[in-house]
C-alpha cells in the first residue's frame, strides 16, 4: 500500500472559512483582523502564533486561545478530513506536511496520522516530501498550490492539486490533474 502526504490548510482544513470566522470574532471583541494580521505577519504571511500573541496582549492569553480554537471542528467538513477514515484504510502511511507554526498540530489533534511536519516554507515542504519519497517510493502528495505540485513532480513524486477549498480564480488556473472533491483521493 502506498503512503500519502497531505497539506493541512485548504486540503484538510477550510482555512479561508477559518479566517472569516476569526475576522468576525475579532470584530466582536473590538479588534481589527487586518491590524492583527499585519502586526503578526512573518515574511508577509499570516502567523497564527503571532496572531494569538497580539490578541493576547489585548484580551489575555486564555481568552485569545479560546477565540482562535473554540468550535472550529466544523471546518474539517468538506475537506479531506471528511473522508479521512477511508484515506487511512487505503494508505499504509498518512503524513501531514504543512507550512505554519506550532498551532498547526492543534488544528489536527484527533486525526490518526503517522507524522506531522510543520515547516517554514514550501522549499522545506518539498525537501520533507523528497525524504519521505526515499522511504516510500509510492508516495502521493496533495497540496492546494500548483507550484508545489509542479516541484513535487520534478522530484519524481506523484502530486495532485486539491481544489475543493480554492476560490474560482485559483481553480481556473489549476493543474490538469487537479482534484475537485476529497473523495477523489480514494481513487489515487
Residue 186's SS3 state is helix
Q: Any idea which fold 3-13+74-187 has?
A: Rossmann fold (3.40.50)
Work out the burial of residue 27: count CB atoms within 10 Å of its CB; fewer than 13 is exposed, 13-18 middle, 19 or more buried.
exposed
Cβ-contact 6, 95 below 8 angstroms:
yes
Per-residue model confidence (pLDDT) at position 119: 92
Residues 55-75 pLDDT 10s: 999 999 999 999 998 887 666
Per-residue model confidence (pLDDT) at position 114: 93
What ranges do the domains of the chain cover? 3-13+74-187, 15-71
Cβ-contact 96, 82 below 8 angstroms:
no
Per-residue model confidence (pLDDT) at position 167: 73
Per-residue model confidence (pLDDT) at position 16: 86
Query: What span, in angstroms and rounded, lies between the C-alpha atoms of 147 and 169?
Result: 15
Residues of the chain with pLDDT under 70: 1, 43-45, 73-82, 106, 109
The C-alpha cell at 60 is 489575555
Amino acid at each position: 500500500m502506498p503512503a500519502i502526504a497531505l497539506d493541512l490548510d485548504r486540503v484538510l482544513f477550510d482555512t479561508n472559512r477559518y479566517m472569516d470566522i476569526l475576522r468576525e470574532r475579532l470584530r466582536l471583541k473590538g479588534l481589527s483582523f487586518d491590524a492583527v494580521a499585519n502586526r503578526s505577519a512573518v515574511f508577509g504571511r499570516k502567523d497564527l502564533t503571532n496572531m494569538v500573541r497580539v490578541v493576547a496582549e489585548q484580551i489575555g492569553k486564555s481568552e485569545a486561545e479560546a477565540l482562535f480554537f473554540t468550535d472550529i471542528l466544523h471546518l474539517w467538513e468538506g475537506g479531506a478530513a471528511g473522508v479521512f477514515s477511508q484515506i487511512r484504510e487505503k494508505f499504509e502511511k498518512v503524513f501531514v506536511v504543512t507550512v505554519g507554526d506550532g498551532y498547526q498540530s492543534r488544528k489536527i489533534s484527533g486525526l490518526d496520522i503517522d507524522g506531522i511536519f510543520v515547516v517554514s516554507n514550501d522549499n522545506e515542504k518539498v525537501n520533507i516530501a523528497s525524504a519521505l519519497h526515499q522511504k516510500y517510493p509510492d508516495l502521493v502528495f496533495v497540496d492546494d498550490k500548483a507550484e508545489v505540485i509542479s516541484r513535487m513532480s520534478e522530484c519524481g513524486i506523484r502530486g495532485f492539486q486539491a481544489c475543493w477549498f480554492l476560490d474560482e480564480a485559483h481553480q481556473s488556473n489549476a493543474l490538469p490533474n487537479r482534484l475537485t472533491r476529497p473523495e477523489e483521493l480514494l481513487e489515487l
